[in-house]
Each structure stands twice: as structure tokens, then as C-alpha cells.
């Protein structure tokens, strides 16, 4: 009996999100148009930018920290790159160079916020909240009316298609593939989990705790900037409110995917599945014509479900470890 309980606990701990995804797909099959290839492609296309931000928050939560500024990095990095390309140095910064500049800006912002929080031992919640406000204000200052008719080279990754599939989906998958290699096959991944589980023990084991934590913030900023680049390409424009309020969905996706707010617990496959779940929920609401005001309530319920499932998975993980 104990082996059956242990197996069930492990399944609930690691695969609950996939059960939820299967249920959603089953419901979606009853909705006209859901199962079409074009609709499925659109779901994944819309999920890619969110998935990039979720990946960033996933890394930060693993080290038992939090980053609220990701939604602003999502808009700030493309805004800086585009203004640099069109206003500051139009003859110097080529659109391809602007594409490279976008994740670099996100990386630098993340590293700066991480260094401030970690080295000065300031609460990361407050630091990234301030960073969020500063960057959002900067975006409004830089592009108050938005920028449209962007060069094709800049929007390529978010707009173009390969074999009928948006390039953004490939970028998203590659990003997660690289993250998987580092988290599951590289020393840095083990150090990140070690810090989240017990920071003091990780330090005594020789892990460079401060450096690793700052690196996580930097990669989170980079991932959010890549997501912003994909979204700008998909929308063919960058506006001041790009990504505004998305941090709530980013938290929902990360927690729904089984990442613990207490650090050290979470799997990339889980957050990947959670992003698809959120994208399908939004798609189903679009197909069924649910009003925007109701959608806010639905996503609020999704967040509550995510919190409950996270606590449920923690309990199953604890039960599995005791047996």
C-alpha cells in the first residue's frame, strides 16, 4: 500500500499540471475551432512571450527571491533598443544590432537589480517594485505615443514563420532547451537548487551564493527582454503599456507549474506546461466570447487555483520524501 501511495504522491508532485492540461484540451475539443491547426499555432505563438517571463521568474523563485520588475523589463528593453535605433543613433545602430541590444538591456537591468538587492541585503520585493516603477515611467517618457512601422529585421523573430510555424515558438523552445541543459546537466543548476533549499549550507559547500543569485536576476531580465522582443514582433509595434499587469499571470504560471515560493522546488517542464495551460484558458475565452471584465475574474481564479495546487504539490512532495 505504501508503494502505491508513494507512486501517487510522486505523480501528483510532478505531473499534476499535465493532468490539468489534458482536462483543458478535452474541454477545448468541444469548442468549435479550437482543434484547428491555425488555432493551436496561435495559442503557442501567444504563449511564447509569457513563457519567457515565466522562465525568468522561475529562476528567481528557485533561489527564494522574487522579481516584480519582469513585466517592465518586457517593455523597457525593446523601447530602449528601438529609441536607440531610431532617435539616438539612427545611422549607427542597425535593426539587427537593436535585436541584440534588447536582451543585453534586460540582462543589465536584471544584474543591477540583483546586485542592489543581494549585495546590500535589501528585500528583493521592494527593490524590484521600485525598478518596475522606474522602468515603466521611462518607457512612457521614451515612447509616449508608441512606435509603429518597425523595421522587418527587428520584428523578424516575433513575426516571421518557418514552415508555417512562427519563429517565436522556436525561440521559446530553444530558450527552454538551453535552460534545461543548465538546470539538469550543469553545475549551476545544482547550485541554484541548493541555494533555494538551504542558502547557508550551500555557502558552506563552496557555492558562490551572491554571484549565483545575481546571475539568476540577470538571466530573468534577459528572458523577459526576449519575451518583449517576441511580443513587439507579434504586434508589429511597441507601446507604453506593453506587458502592463502581466506579472500577475507570470506568477500564476510559475506557481501553477509547481514552483515553490519557499525556494528550491520547481521543474522547467512544470512551468512550461503551465504557460500552455494559461494560453489555452485565454484562447477558450476568446473563442467563446467571454467579456473582458469576466476574464479578469477568471484569471484571478486561476491564480487562486495555482496557489492551492502549489500547496498541494508541496504536501505531496513532503509525503513522498517521508515514504
Name the 3-class secondary structure at 130.
Answer: helix
Q: What is the pLDDT of residue 1?
A: 42
Quote the CA–CA distance of 119 and 266 in Å, as a whole number: 25
Task: Give me the mean pLDDT over the 19-34 stretch.
Answer: 89
Task: Give me the mean pLDDT over the 138-146 stretch.
Answer: 93
Quote the CA–CA distance of 323 and 319 in Å, as a whole number: 6
Task: Give me the mean pLDDT over the 2-23 stretch.
Answer: 65
Q: What is the pLDDT of residue 263?
A: 87
Is 70 exceeded by the pLDDT of residue 192? yes
Q: Kindly report the number of other CB atoms within 10 A of residue 11's CB atom.
A: 14
Grid cell 499571470 is found at 249
Which residue segments constitute the domains of the chain, with CATH numbers given? 2-322 (1.10.3470)
Grid cell for residue 7: 507512486
Quote the CA–CA distance of 85 and 98 in Å, as a whole number: 6
Grid cell for residue 136: 515603466
> Rounded mean pLDDT of the chain?
89
* 248 confidence band (pLDDT: 50, 70, 90): confident
CB 53 within 8 A of CB 172: no
CB 256 within 8 A of CB 306: yes
Q: What is the pLDDT of residue 315?
A: 67
**Tens-place pLDDT, residues 196-214:** 999 999 999 999 999 999 9
Name the 3-class secondary structure at 293.
Answer: helix
- Percent of the chain's residues with pLDDT above 90: 68
Q: Kindly report the number of other CB atoms within 10 A of residue 270's CB atom.
A: 25
Listed range (29-38, 86-95, 264-273, 305-314) with the worst mean pLDDT = 305-314
Grid cell for residue 27: 474541454
Q: Kindly report the number of other CB atoms within 10 A of residue 119's CB atom.
A: 11
Cα 222 versus chain centre, distance: 11
Grid cell for residue 206: 563552496
* 13 confidence band (pLDDT: 50, 70, 90): low
Is 80 exceeded by the pLDDT of residue 178? yes
Task: Give me the mean pLDDT over the 20-24 stretch.
Answer: 88
Grid cell for residue 31: 469548442
pTM strictly above 0.85: yes
Task: Give me the mean pLDDT over the 296-323 stretch.
Answer: 70
Amino acid at each position: 500500500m505504501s508503494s502505491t501511495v508513494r507512486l501517487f504522491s510522486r505523480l501528483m508532485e510532478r505531473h499534476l499540471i499535465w493532468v490539468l492540461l489534458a482536462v483543458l484540451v478535452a474541454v477545448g475539443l468541444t469548442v468549435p475551432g479550437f482543434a484547428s491547426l491555425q488555432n493551436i499555432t496561435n495559442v503557442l505563438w501567444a504563449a511564447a512571450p509569457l513563457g519567457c517571463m515565466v522562465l525568468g521568474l522561475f529562476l528567481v523563485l528557485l533561489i527564494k527571491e522574487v522579481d516584480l520588475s519582469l513585466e517592465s523589463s518586457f517593455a523597457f528593453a525593446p523601447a530602449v533598443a528601438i529609441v536607440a535605433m531610431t532617435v539616438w543613433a539612427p545611422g549607427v545602430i542597425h535593426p539587427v544590432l537593436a535585436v541584440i541590444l534588447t536582451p543585453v538591456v534586460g540582462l543589465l537591468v536584471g544584474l543591477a537589480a540583483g546586485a542592489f538587492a543581494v549585495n546590500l541585503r535589501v528585500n528583493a520585493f521592494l527593490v524590484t517594485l521600485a525598478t518596475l516603477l522606474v522602468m515603466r515611467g521611462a518607457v512612457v517618457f521614451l515612447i509616449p505615443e508608441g512606435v509603429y512601422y518597425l523595421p522587418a529585421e527587428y520584428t523578424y523573430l516575433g513575426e516571421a514563420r518557418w514552415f508555417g510555424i512562427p519563429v517565436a515558438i522556436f525561440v521559446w523552445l530553444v530558450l527552454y532547451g538551453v535552460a534545461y541543459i543548465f538546470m539538469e546537466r550543469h553545475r549551476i543548476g545544482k547550485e541554484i537548487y541548493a541555494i533555494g533549499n538551504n542558502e547557508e549550507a550551500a555557502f558552506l559547500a563552496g557555492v558562490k551564493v551572491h554571484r549565483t543569485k545575481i546571475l539568476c536576476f540577470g538571466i530573468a531580465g534577459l528572458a523577459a527582454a526576449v519575451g518583449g522582443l517576441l511580443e513587439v514582433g507579434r504586434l508589429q509595434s511597441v507601446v507604453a503599456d506593453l506587458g502592463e499587469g502581466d506579472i500577475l499571470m507570470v506568477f500564476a504560471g510559475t506557481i501553477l507549474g509547481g514552483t515553490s515560493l519557499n525556494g528550491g522546488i520547481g521543474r522547467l517542464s512544470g512551468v512550461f506546461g503551465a504557460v500552455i495551460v494559461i494560453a489555452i484558458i485565454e484562447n477558450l475565452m476568446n473563442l467563446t466570447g467571454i467579456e473582458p471584465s469576466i476574464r479578469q475574474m477568471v484569471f484571478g481564479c486561476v491564480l487562486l487555483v495555482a496557489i492551492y495546487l502549489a500547496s498541494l504539490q508541496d504536501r505531496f512532495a513532503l509525503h513522498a520524501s517521508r515514504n
